[in-house]
Amino acid sequence: MRVIVDTEKCCGAGQCVLVAPKVFDQRDDGIVVLLDAAPASELHAAVREAACVCPGAAIRLDEQA
Ligand code: SF4
């Protein structure tokens, strides 16, 4: 899995950080920071949930990568 974030779409809600803190962090202004673009398989479920709950649809997943 490869994770791509679009900081232009991110509205700084922080849902992704709550759901998958090993993969997402936030800058001081709230915008998402991608910590791990190729997360280990045990994190995939949390990353999918983060993408689902992101209010800005700022998290894209490439499941084939
Ligand atoms: S959940 Fe989406 S909008 Fe909120 S901080 Fe994460 S990427 Fe940004």
Q: Could you state, in order of their start, the residue ranges of all structural domains in the chain? A: 2-62
* 3 state SS of 56: coil
What is the reported pLDDT for 49?
98
Whole-number Å distance between alpha carbons of 26 and 13: 9
Rg (CA), the chain: 10
Phi and psi, residue 43, nearest 5°: -95, -5
Percentage of residues of the chain with pLDDT beyond 90: 98
Distance 10 CA to ligand 1 centre (A): 5
Task: Give the Cα-Cα-Cα angle 22, 28, 32 (nearest 5 degrees).
Answer: 45
Ligand 1 atom 3: the closest Cα is on which residue? 10
pLDDT at 52 over 90: yes
Fold of 2-62: Alpha-Beta Plaits (3.30.70)
User: What is residue 65's predicted lDDT score, i.e. its pLDDT?
Assistant: 85
User: Which amino acid residue places its CA nearest to atom 2 of ligand 1?
Assistant: 54
Pocket of ligand 1 (CB under 6 A): 5, 10-16, 24, 26, 32, 54-56, 58-59
Q: Write down the pLDDT at residue 6.
A: 98
12-43 residue pLDDT tens: 999 999 999 999 999 999 999 999 999 999 99
Measured distance CA(31)–CA(44) in Å, rounded? 21
Computed over every residue of the chain, the mean pLDDT equals 97
